């Protein structure tokens, strides 16, 4: 974050504008709209400014800027055509701690002014950090269309009732839910339609009902598939429920980009195992879900990919059923679908594969892989191994020794669907060595089968595949020395659903 967004209360505060042209006129207009006391220092005045000076709306000082103009000011906007003077004003303001903005010179700005959508008292400010003001304006236009002009009225209505609601409903969670039902329900429709007295009457009834109802708010668990990483692969339902959750428990496979879309003030709890820390067992995790829902929270259980594909989602739900906790399940794009699509590898294809099998490469406690190898040896079947990276050599050897051809096309996709996706395309007999020399790390998905040969033709996303036996030097790819993982994925999760462990 390059700039810290704030809304500044300028009513009756002394502000200075230097310059008397059109730009200064726009800046003075905004300051006046915010109720500031504006002093304008300039040698020439545009007509609108002259009018405001005549009407006493601003104090006009008809001369060049002098340092003492800054005394006692909250902020200054320099909008003269003299860039040296503008810079001087910025430096002097900085020296005495007055907030300064030189129009169109981001380097000479302590603050910048955003594009705004004004539905006062509701205000939306958009900034590109001075990098692309036109983009901010385009976005503003889109938001202008989305948000009805009457939203301001709704914000005003809610503002008048806020203290009353706070004193009647003490639990913050219950209060938030009450407000959501008001702001999205029939009360808001009345406000939008200008029927204020009906809105107030309906509001009073709703508040009384809420206060009277002794029932504890009913908590709920949303088991949500977060997809393989790219946040645009979330479903609309996932996004909606993520936006209304009070608390989120997430695995380390959930990408930071996806986590960013959870409601800002929701409590975030990582259930990934942290190095050197006590591991939350699956039973502890189930208990935690039940406890949080029992307190009336809407609990988002966010899992990488799809919660029902190697995600232990089923186990968590059985525990919820036993504890009588209501839940919803939102499917997600599983790693197999996401990685295959973004690597250009169709999982089935009329010419190459009639079926696809998802297999876990996770070893049992005794170190064995419990895989029915004979059922996998079929040249027209695509095999997708989850959690297969650490057992990759063994997997490839077993497939070969059970009869799959050595030259069967095979691929590994690391961090599929994310911008740092890496793809290694090889053959069954070379895949393990190629993946080792490319230093792929978790999360990586393995795809074996004739469909893999389409990866080259259908390449459309990220870097092209790293071909078999390619060395880093010859590849021309600037592979990073250390491959970045998700920022918060310090270690493997407590359960096998979230890592290669």
Q: What are the angstrom distances between the C-alpha of 68 and each of 84, 89, 127, 280, 322? A: 18, 11, 32, 63, 74
Nearer to ligand SAH, 52 or 310 (CB): 310
Q: What amino acid positions are annotated as catalytic residues? A: 251, 273
- Given the rule CB under 6 A, which residues bind ligand SAH? 228-229, 253, 303-306, 309-311, 334-335, 339, 386-387, 413, 415-417, 442-445, 497-498, 500
Nearer to ligand SAH, 39 or 417 (CB): 417
Q: How far apart are CA 229 and CA 247, in angstroms?
A: 20
In the three-class reduction of DSSP (H, G, I as helix; E, B as strand; rest coil), residue 316 is classed as helix
Nearer to ligand SAH, 310 or 352 (CB): 310
Output phi, psi for 216, to 5 deg.
-65, 145
Query: What is the closest distance, in whole angstroms, from the C-beta atom of residue 322 to ligand SAH in the complex?
Result: 23
Owner of token pair 């890592």: 499
Q: In 3D, which of 115, 180, 182, 121 has the Cα closest to residue 152?
A: 121
Nearer to ligand SAH, 182 or 233 (CB): 233
Q: Which contacts qualify for 277-284: CB closer than 8 Å, 24 or more apart?
A: 279/494, 280/494, 281/494, 282/312, 282/315, 282/316, 282/494, 282/495
CB distance 323 to 299 below 8 Å: no
Q: How far apart are CA 427 and CA 206, in angstroms?
A: 66
Nearer to ligand SAH, 90 or 310 (CB): 310
CB distance 335 to 305 below 8 Å: yes
CB distance 472 to 364 below 8 Å: no
Query: What is the closest distance, in whole angstroms, from the C-beta atom of residue 357 to ligand SAH in the complex?
Result: 14
In the three-class reduction of DSSP (H, G, I as helix; E, B as strand; rest coil), residue 23 is classed as helix
Q: What are the angstrom distances between the C-alpha of 247 and each of 173, 262, 299, 305? A: 11, 9, 5, 20
Query: What is the closest distance, in whole angstroms, from the C-beta atom of residue 263 to ligand SAH in the complex?
Result: 23
Query: What is the closest distance, in whole angstroms, from the C-beta atom of residue 335 to ligand SAH in the complex?
Result: 3
Query: What is the closest distance, in whole angstroms, from the C-beta atom of residue 65 to ligand SAH in the complex?
Result: 57
Nearer to ligand SAH, 69 or 306 (CB): 306
Query: What is the closest distance, in whole angstroms, from the C-beta atom of residue 417 to ligand SAH in the complex?
Result: 6
Q: In 3D, which of 147, 207, 215, 208 has the Cα closest to residue 182?
A: 207
Q: In 3D, which of 444, 436, 386, 435 has the Cα closest to residue 415?
A: 444
């Amino acid at each position: 974050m390059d700039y810290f967004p704030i809304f500044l209360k300028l009513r009756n505060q002394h502000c200075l504008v230097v310059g008397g042209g059109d730009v200064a006129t726009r800046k003075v207009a905004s300051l006046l709209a915010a109720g500031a006391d504006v002093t304008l220092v300039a040698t020439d005045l545009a007509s609108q400014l002259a009018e405001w000076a005549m009407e006493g709306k601003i104090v006009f000082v008809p001369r060049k800027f002098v340092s003492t103009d800054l005394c006692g000011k909250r902020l200054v906007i320099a909008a003269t055509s003299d860039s040296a003077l503008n810079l001087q004003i910025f430096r002097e303001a900085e020296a005495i701690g007055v907030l300064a903005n030189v129009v169109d010179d981001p380097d000479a700005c302590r603050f910048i002014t955003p594009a705004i959508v004004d539905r006062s008292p509701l205000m939306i400010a958009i900034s590109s950090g001075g990098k692309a003001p036109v983009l901010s304006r385009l976005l503003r236009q889109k938001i202008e269309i989305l948000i009805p002009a009457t939203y301001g009225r709704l914000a005003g209505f809610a503002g008048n009732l806020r203290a009353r609601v706070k004193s009647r409903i003490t639990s913050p969670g219950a209060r938030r839910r009450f407000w959501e039902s008001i702001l999205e329900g029939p009360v808001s429709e009345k406000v939008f339609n200008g029927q204020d007295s009906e809105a107030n009457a309906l509001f009073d009834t709703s508040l009384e009902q809420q206060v009277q109802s002794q029932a504890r708010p009913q908590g709920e668990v949303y088991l949500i598939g977060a997809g393989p990483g790219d946040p645009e692969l979330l479903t609309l339902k996932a996004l909606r429920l993520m936006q209304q959750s009070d608390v989120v428990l997430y695995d380390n496979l959930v990408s930071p980009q996806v986590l960013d879309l959870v409601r800002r003030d929701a409590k975030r709890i990582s259930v990934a195992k942290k190095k050197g820390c006590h591991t939350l067992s699956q039973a502890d995790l189930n208990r935690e879900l039940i406890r949080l829902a029992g307190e009336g929270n809407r609990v988002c259980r966010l899992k990488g990919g799809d919660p029902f594909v190697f995600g232990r989602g089923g186990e968590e739900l059985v525990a919820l059923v036993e504890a009588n906790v209501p839940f919803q399940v939102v499917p997600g794009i599983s790693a197999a679908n996401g990685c295959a699509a973004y690597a250009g590898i169709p999982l089935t294809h009329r010419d190459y594969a009639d079926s696809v099998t998802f297999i876990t490469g996770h070893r049992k406690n005794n170190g064995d892989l419990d895989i029915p190898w004979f059922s996998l040896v079929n040249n027209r079947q695509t095999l997708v191994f989850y959690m297969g990276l650490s057992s990759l050599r063994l997997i490839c050897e077993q497939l070969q020794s059970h009869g799959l051809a050595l030259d069967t096309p095979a691929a590994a996709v690391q961090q599929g669907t994310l911008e740092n996706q890496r793809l290694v395309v090889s053959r069954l007999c070379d895949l393990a060595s190629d993946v080792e020399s490319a230093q792929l790390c978790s999360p990586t998905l393995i795809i074996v089968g004739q469909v893999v040969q389409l990866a080259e033709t259908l390449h459309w996303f990220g870097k092209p595949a790293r071909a078999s036996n390619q060395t880093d030097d010859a590849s021309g790819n600037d592979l990073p020395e250390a491959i970045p993982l998700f920022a918060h994925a310090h270690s493997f999760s407590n359960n096998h659903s979230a890592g290669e462990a």
